[in-house]
Amino acid sequence: MEMTTQAKPAYKAYALNTFRNIPQMERLTETERFDIEVVGNVLPFKVNNYVIDELIDWDHYQGDPLFNLVFPNRHMLRPEHFAEMERTLKETGDRNVIREVAHKIRLQLNPHPAGQVELNVPEIEGVKLTGIQHKYRETLLFFPSSGQTCHSYCTFCFRWPQFVGMNEIKFAMRETELLVKYLQEHQEVTDILFTGGDPMIMKYEVFRQYIEPFLDKDNGTNIQSIRIGTKSLAFWPYKFIDDEEADKFLALFERVTKSGINLAFMSHFNHPNEMKTAAVQKAIRRLRNTGLQIRTQSPLLHNINDDANAWAEMWREQVNQNCIPYYMFVARDTGARHYFEVPLVRAWEIFREAYQQVSGLCRTVRGPSMSATPGKVQVLGVSEVAGKKVLALRFLQGRNPDWVGRPFFAEYDEKATWLDELKPAFEDKFFYEEELEQMYQEKVSSVLSDN
């Protein structure tokens, strides 16, 4: 395992109450700084010194994609919501009043899309496992309570409720024993995804306790792959270079891979500029030396990466650094969706234009994919069937595995940005809709019977 003595900058993070202390803030107008405060009282704000010093081009910050990735602007709230919070901040400094207004606005932003609360949370022995989501048969998502924050917050993040105190709908769980017990009873689950927030925000001793039960070959589960959903390579690569616990993490990852378990970082890179620093390149090399895979994914985001050339550049750079391009997602229908969304037809065009520019090694990527209520739905493209212009779709994952891989067709709509805006091309309903409705009814009946 590669050792290093390279020095790193001291880690420093800024929250909303300290962001004006960032030296670069002097470049912004007072109006821009106030706008950040308005939006930051509704959507989460946090940024660290690595992002500030090494990723953002401050000479051209207004058009810089990585500035837009972490710093809110007024357009990330709808005009009526911005006006309401702006008025509140000008009228009062009472934090309780401000929080109350923020909460009211947040509830209008679809805080938990795609049936996460209603359909995904399982139970064991009558206990709701609120730190688990089990949507697809083979894969379980686990939200360790110590990992429900990030090194910096992305302005598009679809899990923004995790960071703004909406605890009544926050996913987090400490009980590793209940997790293991659930997996013992569900042998169909082969993959566990540690997610958040960001699990790589955790200290080594805390993270180790979540991982080590799966290194015991007699643990009774059928886990064959461990995935770690993380933005740490883009936002704090020093975590794996010369942080005081870097070598401990790398040694643990090596233990996992040598145990026979597949270990994969599901790394979020939203723009090719995040791949270019010496720190991230060294961190990737050190992680790859442990035997783990790095798979990369990002949503397609207006104002950040809605450009085919940027995606092609990013995929090529990822492959050159021995990462595996995995997903281009469609921006989720939550939070500042209106600011980031790209129409599905245009998303497919961008994907296709980027895909055409790269070699086969980059074409492991799948997309554009919507993580919608019924499953991951890929936009295959625009076609003509029976003389009718249609949008061709298929499931990459589904609540019912039998839905996967079945092509289906929606009416051509160049303005639609999400699955629920599409209409079936040849039938009254999409083929999965009745079964999905039945799943909802069964869940409601189950909740009522428990009460």
Q: pLDDT (tens digit, 0 to 9) for every residue of the chain, 451 residues total?
A: 444 444 678 999 999 999 999 999 999 999 999 999 999 999 989 999 999 999 999 999 999 999 999 999 999 999 999 999 999 999 999 999 999 999 999 998 887 765 666 677 888 877 788 888 899 999 999 988 888 889 999 998 876 566 656 555 455 556 778 889 999 999 999 999 999 889 999 999 999 999 999 999 899 999 999 999 999 999 999 999 999 999 999 999 999 999 999 999 999 999 999 999 999 999 999 999 999 999 999 999 999 999 999 999 999 999 999 999 999 999 988 888 999 999 999 999 999 999 999 999 999 999 999 999 999 999 999 999 999 999 999 999 999 999 999 999 999 999 999 999 999 999 999 999 999 999 988 876 665 455 5
Angle formed at CA 94 by CA 88 and CA 100, multiple of 5 degrees: 65
Phi, psi of 315 (to 5 degrees): -60, -45
Are 259 and 302 contacting, i.e. CB atoms less than 8 angstroms apart? no
Domain match, 35 and 93 both: yes
Domain membership of residue 8 (yes or no) is no
Q: Please give the Cα distance from 113 to 39 (Å, whole number).
A: 21
Domain membership of residue 415 (yes or no) is yes
Q: Please give the Cα distance from 82 to 40 (Å, whole number).
A: 11
**How high is the pLDDT of residue 348?**
98
Q: Please give the Cα distance from 154 to 88 (Å, whole number).
A: 25
Domain membership of residue 5 (yes or no) is no
Q: Helical H runs in 131-262?
A: 176-185, 204-211, 232-235, 246-258
Residue ending a domain, among 338, 361, 384, is 361
Do the bridges between strand 123-124 and strand 46-48 make them parallel or antiparallel, or are there none, so unpaired?
unpaired
Angle formed at CA 155 by CA 413 and CA 366, multiple of 5 degrees: 50
Domain membership of residue 111 (yes or no) is no
Q: Which CATH number does the domain housing residue 155 bear? A: 3.20.20.70
Domain membership of residue 6 (yes or no) is no
Domain match, 272 and 136 both: yes
User: CA Rg, the chain, in Å?
Assistant: 22
173's CB contacts (< 8 A; 6+ apart) are: 129, 130, 131, 132, 142, 143, 144, 145, 179
Domain match, 254 and 301 both: yes
| Among 421, 425, 350, 353, residue whose Cα is nearest residue 384 | 425
Domain match, 180 and 263 both: yes
Domain membership of residue 55 (yes or no) is yes
Count CA atoms closer than 13 A to 173's CA, side-chain side: 23
Predicted confidence (pLDDT) per residue in 188-199, tens digit: 999 999 998 899
> pTM of the predicted model, to two decimals?
0.92
Are 376 and 396 contacting, i.e. CB atoms less than 8 angstroms apart? yes
Predicted confidence (pLDDT) per residue in 29-44, tens digit: 999 999 999 999 999 8
Q: Please give the Cα distance from 51 to 3 (Å, whole number).
A: 24
Residue ending a domain, among 83, 106, 129, is 106
Domain match, 386 and 428 both: yes
- Domain, as residue range, for 396: 372-451
**How high is the pLDDT of residue 251?**
98
| Among 336, 357, 318, 134, residue whose Cα is nearest residue 233 | 318
210's CB contacts (< 8 A; 6+ apart) are: 142, 144, 176, 194, 199
Q: Please give the Cα distance from 292 to 284 (Å, whole number).
A: 10
DSSP 34-58: HHHHHHHTTS--EEEHHIIIII--G
Domain match, 129 and 101 both: no
Domain match, 228 and 356 both: yes
Domain match, 62 and 172 both: no
**How high is the pLDDT of residue 167?**
53
Domain membership of residue 295 (yes or no) is yes
CB burial class (10 A; 0-12, 13-18, 19+) of residue 411? middle
Are 335 and 299 contacting, i.e. CB atoms less than 8 angstroms apart? no
Predicted confidence (pLDDT) per residue in 275-315, tens digit: 999 999 999 999 999 999 999 999 999 999 999 999 999 99
Domain membership of residue 245 (yes or no) is yes
Are 233 and 270 contacting, i.e. CB atoms less than 8 angstroms apart? no
Domain match, 290 and 261 both: yes
Domain match, 356 and 376 both: no
- Write the DSSP symbol of residue 359: -
Residue ending a domain, among 336, 361, 386, is 361
Count CA atoms closer than 13 A to 176's CA, side-chain side: 13
Domain match, 77 and 203 both: no
Phi, psi of 441 (to 5 degrees): -60, -40
Domain match, 298 and 400 both: no
Count of structural domains within the chain: 3
Count CA atoms closer than 13 A to 302's CA, side-chain side: 15
